[in-house]
């Protein structure tokens, strides 16, 4: 009879014992165990965590605090709430022993699975079996656990267990846990095991405090203890473990504990039992394992030895001990918004630190990015090359903009059935005044100043000279940069070109693949089936594996600490909440939504710095002013604000950027446009034509000045202009205050303002921009200023705000698009969205008017005069 069988009570006796309390039962059970246990007394006390019929086999490298994996189902269910991704753990333990005292290592096998569910929380399941040996009775257990995250670094959890076999067959029991992480240095785990326990198995409290002196998994030391309700508090079971990362993917660990003897020495006294183990853990990305050797050293009796192993599969990619070289393929189509683009930038930057990446293949097709974001990707290609990665571009029928991107690669491969449309850049404006006059619709416009041409298509039949000159200056700047960059890129590839030669090639226009190769514009021609062989030849290998870009970051090797917040301001700025237009036309950056994100950054102590990513043509002057004031408050709270400009950061987009600490822009970013306008649409002639009559009663000379049934009077135009001057003064003052350290005064801001648009390259010497660079450079600057640590991929922990909240309409449209894309080719020969049926200028007009058509606004706009689409 085992000591558990000797202490098991039955039926009414168990209920009576429970009524009298657990402590007398435990004392009786211990005495019975001593009397019936044979010649050798049962030495271990009830606190001993290794001799419990509710536990599974020994888990090597076990941790109750800190890193989380599926073994938390048994070790600490609260850890599931901190699980970074899906996890599967298979464990095995076995060994030999000379006597019952020496065989207290639980032998058997088991499996644990866990995965996040309902957001950051997680569900886990465990099935384990322990074999009979020495003083152990075999049993099989099923466990179901759930962890609930509380904030970033805390969680609680519970686990239910059912025992299938053994003396306690049919018994249910419960565990509870708490897990805390205090920054990158300290973690705490506390569990209550067998809270509703089988008879003679007392509740067991366990606690573990883990410390990482360097803030990473390079070294981790943990101390813990176990205590059973039936024991005196001086009869604790102290435990310790340590782990050292030798190299990425290889970790050496050791663990041990001292167990007091019943009615004998305490844990730290001579004669107590000891258990020690050492092991080695290996990681291979999403898979890995560990192997440990253990020794049991009783204070009296025979020593014993055992082994334990575990294998894991993880949804989060970890460090790789052995990483075969491969090529990463990056597809650039389908990037709908700046949130997706920022995520792409972070993942590409992570490739630079990945030693297993030999080359990166950019698949360039249907790229819906503006010239500035194209330049960000070009910068990333250069960064990859600087880290020893080959960069290749594969295109089907590239436009000028797409070829500008492809040229930054080491080699360009073109599909044999494609063509190269190297035709230059253009930008058209559609004028609606003639049509509106025929319809009887009139637009009243007041603007500051002469370069603020946003509404010219609605009041004029051609561009004003100032606006036309401004546009020509921008096109010249962008075109010169594109031709110079292509010439430099192809010369680097051994084709020897200058900007003048590139301009001649552009004037020629369209190229077949053979013509493009003969002209030195591409390096090879291949279809999808031939691409692997072409890449292998370029890399000097017999073959090569091509994998898609990982969607998640590599495990950082550190617990969460101080981090960067990336606040997205993407789309037209409007009052109220953020919204999205259907069919890929664009979105609105609502002041309420952006303010909530900035306030979260201000009050969250874990946010050390903020990167404000602006990809906006501006919008509501009032909303822009409100956001700019919130940025001033954020800086006053001691948090650096670094701006990264995308394709557009103009007018209201520049308004919100000006109060920051530092501004990054790409050379072709459209910025500036410091100006403002107001307008009103009057449809009185249209109503007359339709036979509609409107009578308005008013009290106050201008009570209906916003009425769509009449135009403004001269007095009202003067009144609106006066308000515009005030708002323009606010705009100029905000820019002057934010850029004072760059030598900009209010007078100078007005001089370079008045609605003028500048590229990022032009804005640098004017003091509007501090440095050329993209969002990655802004992240690096934020890390430097705030002293925030980075992970294995050389990136800090980042939180993107506002959090994505895709509405039901957007989901339905996305689902419809996916269904259309998955349909057989002959089901619908041509897939065309409503947005594709519109001209680029029509889309620009809709983006301009949508805030006024779909919701109330201030009526005064700090908005870019026009959209530049290169095609």
Would you say 483 and 506 are in contact if contact means Cβ atoms under 8 Å apart? yes
Report the 10 Å Cβ neighbour count for 270.
7
Token pair for 538:
């370029």
The domain in which residue 472 lies consists of: 326-442+454-548
Report how far residue 482's alpha carbon sits from residue 484's, in angstroms, rounded to the nearest whole number.
6
Q: Are residue 116 and residue 184 in the same domain, yes or no?
A: yes
Query: Do residues 516 and 398 touch, judged by C-beta distance below 8 A?
Result: no
Judge whether 403 and 422 are in contact, CB under 8 Å.
yes
Query: What number is the average pLDDT over the span 203-230?
Result: 94
Average pLDDT over residues 374-401: 96
Assess whether 303 and 335 both reside in one domain.
Answer: no
Instruction: Say if residue 33's pLDDT is above 50.
Output: no
Mean pLDDT of 768-793: 96
Pairing of strands 546-548, 108-116: unpaired
Do residue 525 and residue 573 come from a single domain? no
pLDDT of residue 13: 37
Residue 553 lies in a domain: no
What is the gyration radius of the CA atoms in the chain, in angstroms? Answer: 35
Residue 615 confidence class, pLDDT cut points 50, 70, 90: very high
Asked if the model's pLDDT at residue 583 lies above 60, the reply is no
Residue 541 contacts by C-beta under 8 Å, 6 or more apart in sequence?
Answer: none
The pLDDT confidence band at residue 136, using thresholds 50, 70 and 90, is low
CATH number of the domain enclosing 223: 2.40.160.60
pLDDT given for residue 43 in this prediction:
46
pLDDT higher than 50, residue 813: no
For the chain, the distance separating the N- and C-terminal CA atoms, rounded to the nearest angstrom, is: 85
Looking at the predicted structure, is the pLDDT value of residue 871 above 60? no
**In the chain, how many domains are there?**
3
> Would you place residue 222 in the very low, low, confident or very high pLDDT band (cuts 50, 70, 90)?
very high
Rounded mean pLDDT, 47-53: 77
Same domain, residue pair 536 and 606: no
Residues 6+ apart with CB under 8 A from 763: 665, 669, 671, 672, 769
Confidence of residue 28 (pLDDT cuts 50, 70, 90): very low
pLDDT of 98 strictly over 50: no
Between residues 32 and 491, the one the model is more confident about: 491
Residues 814-820: what's their mean pLDDT? 43
- Distance between CA atoms of residues 608 and 212, nearest Å: 21
Here the tokens at position 602 are 């201000």
Least confident residue range of 139-153, 314-328, 371-385: 314-328
| In a domain? residue 810 | yes
Q: Would you say residue 4 has pLDDT above 70?
A: no
Q: Is residue 138 part of a domain?
A: yes
Q: What six digits make up the tokens of 282?
A: 């290996």
Q: Count of residues for the chain?
A: 871
| pLDDT attached to residue 541 | 85
| Cα separation values, 491 from 383, 405, 497, Å | 19, 15, 6
Shared-domain flag, residues 281 and 332: no
Q: Which residues pair with 292 in a beta bridge?
A: 279, 308
Residue 262 pLDDT greater than 90, yes or no:
no
> How far, in Å, CA of 132 to CA of 91, rounded?
17
Instruction: Note whether 265 and 118 are same-domain residues.
Output: yes
Q: Could you tell me which of 21, 82, 77 has the C-alpha nearest to residue 193? A: 77
Q: Could you tell me if 576 and 170 are in contact, meaning their C-beta atoms sit under 8 angstroms apart?
A: no
Please indicate whether residue 217 or residue 583 has the higher confidence score (pLDDT). Answer: 217
Among 314, 335, 357, the domain-final residue is 314
Tell whether 310 and 331 lie within a shared domain.
Answer: no
pLDDT band at 199 (very low <50, low <70, confident <90, very high): low
Question: What is the C-alpha to C-alpha distance for residues 522 and 141, in angstroms, rounded to an integer?
Answer: 64
Same domain, 482 and 579: no
Q: Does residue 621 lie within any of the structural domains?
A: yes
Of residues 41 and 467, the one with the higher pLDDT is 467
**Among 192-206, 300-314, 523-537, the least confident range:** 192-206
The answer to whether position 791 is within a domain reads: yes
Closest Cα partner for 30 from 239, 336, 235? 235
Could you tell me if residue 558 is inside a domain? no
* Banded model confidence at residue 355, pLDDT cuts 50, 70, 90: confident
Note the pLDDT of residue 12.
34
199 in the same domain as 156: yes
Domain boundary among 480, 513, 548: 548
Model confidence at 409, pLDDT cuts 50, 70, 90, reads very high
Contacts of 484 (CB under 8 A, 6+ apart): 499, 502
Domain match, 524 and 659 both: no
Q: Report how far residue 743's alpha carbon sits from residue 760's, in angstroms, rounded to the nearest whole number.
A: 18
In this prediction, residue 281 carries a pLDDT of 97
Query: Rounded distance, CA 579 to CA 847, Å?
Result: 12
Q: If you average pLDDT over residues 652-679, what whole number do you get?
A: 96
Instruction: Determine, yes or no, domain membership for 343.
Output: yes
**In the predicted structure, residue 35 carries a pLDDT above the cut 60:** no
Together in a domain, 489 and 586 = no
Question: Taking the mean position of all CA atoms in its chain, how far away is CA 468?
Answer: 41
**Same domain, yes or no: 230 and 299:** yes
The mean pLDDT value of the chain amounts to 85
Domain boundary among 314, 340, 368: 314
Residue 596 has pLDDT above 50, yes or no: yes
Enter the tokens of residue 579.
């919204």
Question: How open is the CA angle 167-173-179, to the nearest 5 degrees?
Answer: 135
Task: Please report, for the domain that includes residue 345, its CATH number.
Answer: 3.90.226.10
More reliable by pLDDT, 870 or 437: 437
Q: How far is CA 219 from CA 245, 246, 771, in A?
A: 6, 9, 39
In a domain, 14, yes or no: no
Of residues 736 and 336, more confidently modeled = 736
Using an 8 Å Cβ cutoff, are 621 and 652 in contact? yes
Q: Among 43-47, 263-267, 635-639, 649-653, where is mean pLDDT lowest?
A: 43-47
853 HSE (CA, 13 A, CB side): 7
């Amino acid at each position: 009879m085992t000591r558990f069988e000797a202490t098991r009570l039955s039926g009414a006796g168990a209920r009576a014992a429970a009524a009298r309390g657990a402590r007398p039962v435990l004392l009786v059970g211990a005495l019975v165990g001593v009397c019936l246990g044979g010649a050798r007394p049962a030495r271990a006390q009830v606190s001993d965590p290794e001799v419990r019929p509710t536990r599974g086999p020994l888990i090597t490298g076990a941790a109750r605090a800190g890193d989380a994996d599926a073994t938390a189902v048994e070790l600490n269910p609260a850890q599931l709430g901190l699980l970074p991704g899906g996890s599967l753990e298979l464990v095995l333990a076995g060994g030999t022993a000379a006597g019952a005292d020496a065989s207290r290592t639980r032998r058997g096998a088991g499996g644990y699975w866990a995965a996040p569910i309902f957001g950051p929380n997680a569900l886990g399941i465990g099935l384990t079996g322990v074999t009979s040996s020495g003083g152990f009775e075999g049993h099989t257990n099923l466990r179901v656990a759930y962890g609930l995250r509380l904030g970033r670094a805390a969680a609680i959890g519970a686990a239910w267990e059912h025992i299938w076999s053994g003396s306690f067959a049919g018994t249910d029991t419960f565990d509870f846990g708490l897990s805390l992480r205090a920054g990158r240095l300290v973690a705490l785990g506390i569990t209550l095991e067998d809270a509703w326990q089988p008879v003679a198995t007392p509740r067991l409290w366990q606690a573990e405090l883990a410390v990482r002196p360097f803030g990473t998994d390079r070294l981790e030391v943990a101390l813990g203890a176990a205590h059973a309700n039936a024991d005196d508090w001086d009869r604790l079971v102290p435990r310790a473990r340590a782990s050292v990362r030798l190299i990425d993917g290889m970790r050496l660990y050791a663990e041990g504990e001292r167990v007091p003897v019943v009615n004998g020495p305490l844990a730290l006294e001579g004669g107590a039992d000891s258990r020690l183990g050492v092991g080695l853990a290996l990681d291979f990305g999403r898979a890995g394992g560990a192997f440990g050797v253990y020794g049991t050293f009783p204070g009296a009796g025979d020593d014993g030895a055992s082994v334990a192993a575990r294998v894991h599969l993880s949804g989060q990619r970890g460090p790789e001990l052995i990483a075969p070289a491969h090529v990463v393929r990056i597809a650039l189509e389908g990037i709908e918004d700046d949130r997706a683009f920022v995520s792409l930038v972070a993942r590409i930057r992570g490739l630079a630190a990945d030693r297993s990446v030999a080359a990166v293949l950019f698949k360039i097709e249907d790229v819906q990015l503006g010239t500035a974001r194209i330049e960000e990707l070009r910068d990333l290609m250069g960064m990859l090359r600087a880290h020893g990665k080959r960069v290749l571009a594969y295109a089907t029928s590239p436009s000028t903009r797409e070829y500008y991107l492809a040229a930054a690669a080491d080699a360009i491969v073109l599909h044999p059935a494609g063509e190269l449309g190297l035709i230059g850049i253009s930008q058209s404006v559609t004028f609606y005044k003639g049509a509106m006059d025929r319809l009887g619709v009139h637009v009243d416009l007041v603007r500051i100043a002469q370069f603020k041409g946003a509404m010219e298509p609605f009041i004029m039949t051609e561009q004003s000279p100032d606006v036309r000159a401004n546009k020509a200056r921008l096109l010249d700047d962008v075109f010169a940069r594109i031709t110079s960059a292509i010439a430099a890129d192809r010369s680097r590839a051994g084709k020897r070109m200058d900007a003048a030669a590139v301009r001649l090639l552009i004037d020629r226009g369209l190229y077949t693949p053979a013509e493009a190769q003969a002209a030195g514009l591409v390096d090879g021609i291949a279809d999808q089936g031939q691409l692997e062989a072409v890449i292998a030849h370029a890399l000097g290998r017999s073959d090569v594996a091509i994998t898609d870009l990982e969607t998640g970051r590599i495990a950082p090797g550190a617990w969460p600490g101080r981090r960067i917040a990336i606040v997205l301001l993407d789309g037209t700025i409007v009052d109220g909440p953020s919204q999205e237009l259907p069919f890929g036309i664009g979105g609105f950056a609502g002041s309420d939504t952006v303010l909530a994100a900035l306030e979260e950054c201000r009050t969250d102590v874990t946010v050390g710095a903020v990167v404000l990513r602006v990809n906006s043509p501006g919008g509501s002057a009032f909303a822009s002013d409100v956001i700019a004031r919130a940025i001033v408050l954020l800086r006053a709270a001691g948090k650096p604000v670094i701006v990264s400009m995308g394709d557009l950061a103009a007018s209201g987009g520049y308004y919100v950027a000006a109060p920051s600490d530092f501004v990054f822009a790409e050379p072709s970013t459209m910025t500036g446009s410091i100006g403002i306008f107001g307008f009103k649409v009057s449809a009185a002639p249209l109503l007359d034509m339709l036979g509609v009559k409107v009578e308005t009663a008013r009290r106050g000379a201008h009570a209906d000045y916003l009425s769509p049934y009449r135009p403004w009077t001269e007095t009202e135009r003067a009144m609106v202009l006066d308000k515009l001057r005030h708002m323009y003064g606010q705009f100029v003052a905000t820019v002057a205050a934010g850029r004072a350290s760059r030598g900009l005064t209010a007078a100078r801001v007005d001089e370079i303002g008045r609605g003028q648009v500048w590229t990022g390259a032009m804005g640098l010497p004017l003091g509007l921009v501090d440095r050329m660079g993209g969002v990655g450079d802004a992240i690096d600057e934020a890390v430097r200023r705030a002293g925030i640590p980075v992970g294995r991929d050389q990136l800090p922990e980042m939180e993107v705000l506002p959090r994505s909240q895709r509405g039901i309409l957007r989901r339905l449209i996305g689902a419809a698009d996916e269904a259309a894309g998955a349909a057989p080719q002959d089901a619908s020969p041509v897939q065309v969205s409503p947005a594709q049926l519109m001209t680029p200028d029509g889309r620009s007009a809709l983006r301009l008017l949508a805030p006024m058509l779909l919701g109330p606004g201030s009526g005064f706009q700090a908005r870019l005069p026009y959209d530049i689409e290169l095609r």
